[in-house]
């Protein structure tokens, strides 16, 4: 009897939990560029081999991109849920055009993968001091 009650409790709890992959990622904050990899030549670009730095500010669905602290791109976007070939849920930043980017977020590391052939994957680190 105890086993049956315990099984029902576990089953009930597992049915009520929302899959973390179904929740929009929390990208709010300032992100500092670490590197960009890809392109037709498989290049790796960073502030170490380029003469500039990059950062992002994401606030809700507002996206601001800076080079050397100067605003170079500003847009709104929508989160879009997509399934990859393994039927796993992935998230896309949908800018309503060709600038869409697949999102990979792990703790304070954000990777934005451009959606096109020979495109770049951009890695950013969350600036925890930014409010």
- Phi and psi dihedrals of 14, rounded to 5? -70, -30
3-state helix, strand, coil in the chain (%, to 5): 15, 50, 40
Under CATH, what is the fold of the domain 22-126? Lipocalin (2.40.128)
Residue with tokens 């890809």: 38
Q: At 97, is the secondary structure helix, strand, or coil?
A: coil
CA angle 94, 95, 96 (to 5 degrees): 90
pLDDT band of 115, cuts 50, 70, 90: confident
CA distances from 97 to 22, 55, 125 (A): 24, 22, 26
Mean pLDDT for the stretch of residues 79-85 = 83
Query: Please, what is the average pLDDT of the chain?
Result: 83
Res 130: pLDDT: 67
From 45, 95, 21, select the one nearest 65 (Cα to Cα).
Answer: 95
pLDDT band of 22, cuts 50, 70, 90: low
Mean pLDDT for the stretch of residues 37-55 = 95
Query: 103 vs 19, which has greater pLDDT?
Result: 103
Query: Does the pLDDT at position 104 exceed 70?
Result: yes
Query: Does the pLDDT at position 66 exceed 90?
Result: yes
């Amino acid at each position: 009897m105890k086993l049956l009650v315990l099984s029902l409790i576990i089953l009930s709890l597992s049915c009520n939990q929302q899959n973390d992959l179904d929740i929009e990622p929390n990208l709010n904050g300032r992100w500092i560029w670490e590197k960009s990899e890809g392109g037709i030549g498989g290049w790796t670009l960073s502030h170490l081999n380029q003469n500039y730095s990059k950062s992002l500010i994401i606030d809700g669905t507002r996206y601001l991109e800076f080079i050397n602290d100067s605003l170079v791109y500003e847009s709104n976007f929508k989160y879009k849920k997509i399934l990859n070939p393994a039927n796993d849920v992935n998230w896309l930043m949908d800018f309503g055009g060709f600038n869409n980017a697949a999102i990979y977020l792990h703790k304070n590391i954000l990777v934005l993968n451009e959606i096109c052939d020979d495109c770049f994957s951009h890695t950013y680190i969350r600036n925890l001091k930014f409010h």
